[in-house]
Chains A and B, each alone.
Chain A
């Protein structure tokens, strides 16, 4: 979008440089002056300056060219707009923003207002960004680009209705239509309050993680049905505090002992400043299994991210204090998990991600405590109203001590895979089909298993 403006930096002609005379030729000089006048009328000051210089070189008595060149020279000075372009090209966003603001203040240049607004948006200075983008919006040449970024600002503020309206306005420009309409659709699901409901049905090839799961018997498959609901309240949009609550029902067709219910509530705070951000969250979760109390857990989470161009580096750490009920109580303890992640928007429609995670489960029973770590790769593809995703992960887990019951110090390797396709059926309705799978290997043969679980789901999301 800004490439044509950046190209101007390559075409600079100095109108203040001395003019070297050439053999007089008033006829040709007049042609140069006419070209210069036309270029100036078209707003091309560099080309106009070059032509006026040629006119003056061939006709030193040409006062019209001389005075036009003097005006261009006086206006030339240190050009803050060109300075802003150079700084933006060098990713000096604060410097670029200041330069564009100076250019806008000097002559009301709408291009400077647009680029200054974009720089301020990237820096997270939303108030200044909105002021500049509103100014750029008044110029028909930049109206759609300005509305696109004003829509992004509204999204960041959590004002989904205003964001979708602005993005639809931006979509009248064919070059922006695709991203703007995609974002407008997402904006209608966004807001300061977001409610969602997902119904899912599927099949699980190995509910009991056989042959070595809790029953110690062969794998048993079953049909599944699930319902999940969540509510998010963020009074200041994507930045600031938020509260979240969610509930989950996951029932099996015949193996009722594995029916799962869950509720969770969380409170957090997200900070965003330009190309980096951080979040902290507390969450309480409770689960029942087969109708009985199973788990109560308190989790603290901290995460941060940093964007550079099309790449994002992120890190997170979570600690969960787990309290299992009844016969599961030996699993109680403290679970730590840390992850480093890098993602790259290889193209506007293709995102690649690579992560490495490590975890430590410090269980009450040392025989159940372990360290684990491993890589994970993700691919996300945007195809119009559909999104495709493929994940692949490897986890190496080593338990702390020799388990006399197993006759071994357990070491497991998990290969996990997932694939899904998600389609926006309407503004707030989404259909999803996916499959997850795991190949678990262990030095204890009875604890090795395979699992496949395909599912289809439909979801409704409402942003207010």
Chain B
């Protein structure tokens, strides 16, 4: 959390009283773990024209565990290319149970964000690997598709798309797993004996 605020402060330099001042104020709140206040400042900065503020608001939403809103914010934010943004985006996906989304982002974070974040990213990827170790069930796929439809009906198209993409990715894993099992079965002895 400190790394994000520090990165922000270093990137911005001295405040000039406009949107940047609100970004810095948000960073100060973020560093002090006052995430609600940080979110407000980042959102105000966004409204005053600071396009990069959306990603910082996404990080605050992650800290507030408002996963859906965090995913939605990152999905619509201007890509900043900062690895910490990708890391928080991944955490948002993970919190919203968008596991393949989180895994893809964390794979890209790699060591770009320093050893501490890289280590945390590795830990989350291990948890994701465990969660994805079994082929997804039909009920799981139905859950993601239902979420996609529900969010689309609410007009939250970016979030709906994230859930639909996850359903598609999981469905692909399910097909892959079925094929692998089929190959194994065909190759296995059918007389109960060993090779």
Contacts and interface: CB of A to CB of B under 8 A. Distances in A.
Interface in B128-152: 134, 136-137, 139-140, 142-144, 146, 150
A7 interface: yes
Contact of B47 (A11, A34, A174, A177): A34
B34 to A, nearest CB: 8
Contact of A32 (B40, B67, B69): B40
A177 B140 contact: yes
Interface centre among A11, A51, A140, A175 (most CB of B within 10 A): A11
Interface in A166-205: 171-175, 177, 181
B173 to A, nearest CB: 13
B48 interface: yes
A68 to B, nearest CB: 14
SS of B interface (majority): helix
A36 B36 CA distance: 11
Contacts of B139: 171-172, 177
A296 B33 CA distance: 69
A42 interface: yes
Q: Give the bracket for the number of chain A residues in contact with chain B.
A: 20 to 34
A273 B119 CA distance: 44
A7 B39 contact: no
Interface string A118-141: 000000000000000000000010
A35 B47 contact: yes
B44 A4 contact: no
A460 to B, nearest CB: 23
27 contacts: A7-B64, A11-B64, A28-B22, A31-B47, A34-B47, A35-B47, A36-B40, A42-B66, A42-B69, A44-B36, A44-B66, A47-B39, A47-B64, A50-B36, A50-B40, A51-B40, A51-B44, A54-B44, A140-B150, A171-B139, A172-B143, A172-B146, A173-B143, A174-B97, A174-B144, A175-B97, A384-B134
Interface of A: 3-4, 7, 10-11, 13, 28, 31-32, 34-36, 38-39, 42, 44, 46-47, 50-51, 54, 140, 171-175, 177, 181, 384
